[in-house]
Amino acid sequence: MGTEIERKFLVNDISWRSPLKSLSIIQGYFPTSGFSLRVRVQEDKAFLTLKKTKSKISRHEFEYEIPARDAREIIGIFCSGHIVEKTRHIIEYKGFNWEVDVFHGDNDGLVVAEIELESEDEAFEKPSWLGEEVTRDTKYLNAYLAKFPYKTWNK
């Protein structure tokens, strides 16, 4: 794995709603400084992931599959108060798969779309349902949302 390159946008409307598939995701974050350490349960699979900023749109990323049962226990024991719940919808548009995350719980009301790229300057066409780009705004990172949920933001 090594590097994740992604761009992130707010979503303007619901015209994207014809996903290829949808996944229920719960992820917990460990208190860390300078990097992100999370455990994610995604349907019947689970992963332990480390991320650290490399540039404004690239991050070092290392992800390892772990037993889903263990992941649920880890979230309950180690990540209390640092949980992000969302439904991820995969949308195909102009040769790219977009991930539209509809957040639940303390982040209810937030909808964000992400696209993963092969390079930082890779060209792509933006769907009409995209809003403001928030790639460089760290408050839209899931690790931030785990500490400072969307419902607490002064909108």
Profile the chain (155 residues) by mean pLDDT over runs of 10 residues.
Answer: 91 89 95 90 96 91 97 91 92 96 97 96 96 96 94 88
pLDDT tens for 98-142 read: 999 999 999 999 999 999 999 999 999 999 999 999 999 999 999
What range defines the domain where residue 50 resides?
2-152
pLDDT for position 144: 93
CB distance 124 to 96 below 8 Å: yes
Residue positions annotated with a catalytic role: 29
Check which CATH number belongs to the domain holding 102 and give it.
Answer: 2.40.320.10
Q: Phi and psi at residue 135, in whole multiples of 5°? A: -55, -45
* HEC profile of the chain: CEEEEEEEEEECCCCCCCCCEEEEEEEEECCCCCCEEEEEEECCEEEEEEEEECCCCEEEEEEEEECHHHHHHHHHHHCCCCEEEEEEEEEEECCEEEEEEEEEHHHCCCEEEEEECCCCCCCCCCCCCEEEECCCCHHHCHHHHHHCCHHHCCC
When divided into structural domains, the chain yields a total of 1
Q: How far from 91 is each of 88, 128, 151, CA to CA, in Å?
A: 10, 13, 26
pLDDT for position 155: 67
